[in-house]
Structure 1
Amino acid sequence: MTSEAPPKRPLTWLITGSSSGFALALTRLALANGHKVIATSRVPARTPDLVAEVVAKGGEWVRLDQDDPDCGNVIADLEARGVALDVLANVAATSMTGPAEAFSEDEVRRVMETNFFGPYRLMRAAAPHMRRRRSGMIVNFSSGAGMEAALSLGVYGASKSALDGITKVLHKEMKDFNVRVLLVYLGSFNTAMVGKTEKIAKALDPDYEGTTTAQYIDVLSTGNFVVNGDHIKATQAIYDVVVGEGIGKGKENEIMIPLGIDMAKRVEECRERLVHAMDVFGEICNNVNVDGAPEGVWQGGFVKKSG
């Protein structure tokens, strides 16, 4: 981690899921560099030592259950008492493994609540304050499974894909207001989440025995695979991009940061698939227009009528 030299301007951070993993590392790093941190978790009473550590370093710890439809009130309450939020870091997440066809309605909703609706509620609460101040940053943690399909992680990937989509839109919409929005794509890292991917309740259908999907379920639910990613190093990179120092200097306008050698492979896989699709279907893609349609000017998402 960095030295404890004070930052150019201390920022106020709200970090979700601070009791472990990336969120805990980011909480400690921001505090060590002189920032104000509001750490959060569902049940602070489960980690009294961490709560005491954060408070002793000048931070604050509050209860936040992002499955609660009213979780955005945490930000409203902070702003109401004069705490202007500079950085919202949506880190907390859950994962579940199983064939895409076999998730129950409750399991799908549980993953979506934690991984998409919760972060979105907090984004929706924070963005207006940042917009009015013409400053601030929202950092959403995603996954390679959100960028490209990962066997047995269909619902987890879908929840992250949903978060990816809204993050990319918010990034574009907030540019006019000097509010930064960053999407962090993580590969596998040495955190507790790697070894405790929950299985769905439904027993695996015998048809899946011996399939690659079954192998993925076994590996993910046991954590029996090599993890190369150092989450402390990755956290430093994320911090640098947020504050515009180190590897983040001059990269303040970037929309995404991929981290991890397996993430690099996922990016390449995704790129190759898109290039392949255009190689195969590019000609027809560009030739399904209305005959005699008026020409227009492409403006980043739509064609504006000329004149």
Structure 2
Amino acid sequence: MKTDTYPQKTVLITGASSGIGKSIGEFLQDKGFKVYGTSRSPKKVTRSKFPLLSLDVTKNETISSAVNELIEREGRLDVLVNNAGVGITGPIEETPDEEIRKAFDTNYFGPIKVIKAVLPFMRKQGSGLIINITSIAGYMGLPYRGIYSASKGALELTTEAFRMELKGFNIQMTNVAPGDFATNIAAGRYHAPVLEDSPYKKAYGNTLKLMNEHVDSGKDPQMMAKAIFEIINTPEPKGHYKVGELLQKFSIGLKRILPDKVYERMLLKHYKL
């Protein structure tokens, strides 16, 4: 496929100062797109190949300000990549309510707020594509990642509904669910502490170590960047895409065909629980 199919389309990527968002932005810019990223603290980012706008997905005023600034500069917005997100781990029983709300504010309510901010502009220009970065974890309730799974799964389902609501406006929407990629997400995620007197101490401690190892040995984020590029070049994107290790993608298919208890035993064995 030719790389100049969509010359100078304008793309906005939330959470683009590092990791997957940064990789997507750099890749698309190299392909000729006009890329804008966002960060909660863009002044702290010393190296960025594309402009970073100040935006916190949990704060409406920063969302409106960033979107309006982009429209003032470029006059249109062709693609939104909802990438900003946070990790959260811990036994659900021991995870503070405040941290659960924070995770949903960023991973679920945040992307919806950004979508609401860009839709009037996309509807006015008669076109647009919104790509929500979710997670393969959003397809299954993973032990000690239940809140993360729930927040990403909620966005997957909401996107399905949104797609149908937007059909009449020539605005497309899709989910892209990555598996484990080598990024700094583990360092930034909320970890419920491994408490000495917790009944979950041993199981949670072992699972936490395993999760961090998966991220450290994850795929190159460039794989995600290439997948996003291909989706943008697809005339009618599907509702769901999965990107990552074959086994991780295969696990979603297994859940559809295996009895619940069999699938549960498979996860327990994988996490050594």
TM-score (ref. length: structure 2): 0.85
Query: For the residues of structure 2 that align with 1:219 and 1:205, how far apart are their CA atoms?
Result: 21
In structure 1, the gaps of 5 or more residues are 55-59, 245-249, 278-307
SS at structure 2 position matched to 1:210 = helix
The residue that corresponds to 1:70 in the other structure is: 61
The residue that corresponds to 1:219 in the other structure is: 210
In structure 2, the gaps of 5 or more residues are 261-273
CA contact (8 A) 2:55 2:63 kept: no
- Residues 268/227 of structure 1: CA separation in 2 closer, same or farther (3 Å cut): farther
CA contact (8 A) 2:231 2:237 kept: no
The residue that corresponds to 1:33 in the other structure is: 31
SS at structure 1 position matched to 2:202 = coil
Q: What whole-Å deviation, never above 9, does each CA across 1:37-88 have from its counterpart, x for those lacking one?
A: 11111111221222xx32xxxxx32111112133330223433565211000
CA contact (8 A) 1:148 1:266 kept: no
CA contact (8 A) 2:54 2:62 kept: no
The residue that corresponds to 1:18 in the other structure is: 16
The residue that corresponds to 1:234 in the other structure is: 224
CA contact (8 A) 1:188 1:194 kept: no
The residue that corresponds to 2:269 in the other structure is: none
- Residues 123/101 of structure 1: CA separation in 2 closer, same or farther (3 Å cut): same
- One-letter code aligned to 1:224: E
Q: Pick the aligned partner of 2:250 from 265, 277, 288.
A: 265
The residue that corresponds to 1:98 in the other structure is: 90
CA contact (8 A) 1:39 1:61 kept: yes
Question: Aligned pairs, how many?
Answer: 257
The residue that corresponds to 2:264 in the other structure is: none
Q: Please list, as runs of the form range in 1=range in 2, the aligned pairs for 1:47-66 lying within 5 A after superposition.
A: 47-50=45-48, 53-54=49-50, 60-66=51-57
Higher RCO structure (Cα 8 Å, ≥6 apart): 2
Q: Please list, as runs of the form range in 1=range in 2, the aligned pairs for 1:86-235 lying within 5 A after superposition.
A: 86-194=78-186, 196-201=188-193, 203=195, 205-211=197-203, 213-220=204-211, 223-225=212-214, 227-235=217-225
Deviation at 1:129, TM superposition (A): 2.0
Query: For the residues of structure 1 that align with 2:248 and 2:196, how far apart are their CA atoms?
Result: 28
SS at structure 1 position matched to 2:12 = strand
Q: What whole-Å deviation, never above 9, does each CA across 1:158-195 have from its counterpart, x for those lacking one?
A: 21122112211111211222111010011101112145
Deviation at 1:227, TM superposition (A): 2.7
- One-letter code aligned to 2:43: A
Give the number of the structure whose alpha-carbon radius of gyration is greater. 1
TM-score (ref. length: structure 1): 0.76
CA contact (8 A) 2:177 2:241 kept: yes
- Residues 109/140 of structure 1: CA separation in 2 closer, same or farther (3 Å cut): same
Query: For the residues of structure 2 that align with 1:115 and 1:205, how far apart are their CA atoms?
Result: 31
Q: Pick the aligned partner of 1:45 from 38, 43, 46.
A: 43
CA contact (8 A) 1:186 1:259 kept: yes
CA contact (8 A) 2:57 2:110 kept: yes
Query: For the residues of structure 2 that align with 1:145 and 1:45, how far apart are their CA atoms?
Result: 32
What value does the CA root-mean-square deviation take over the aligned residues? 2.3
Query: For the residues of structure 2 that align with 1:47 and 1:7, how far apart are their CA atoms?
Result: 31
Q: What whole-Å deviation, never above 9, does each CA across 1:145-170 have from its counterpart, x for those lacking one?
A: 21111111111112112211221111
- Residues 70/203 of structure 1: CA separation in 2 closer, same or farther (3 Å cut): farther
% identical aligned pairs:
28
SS at structure 1 position matched to 2:38 = strand
SS at structure 2 position matched to 1:149 = coil
- One-letter code aligned to 1:270: K
Q: What whole-Å deviation, never above 9, does each CA across 1:77-105 have from its counterpart, x for those lacking one?
A: 43356521100001111111100111112
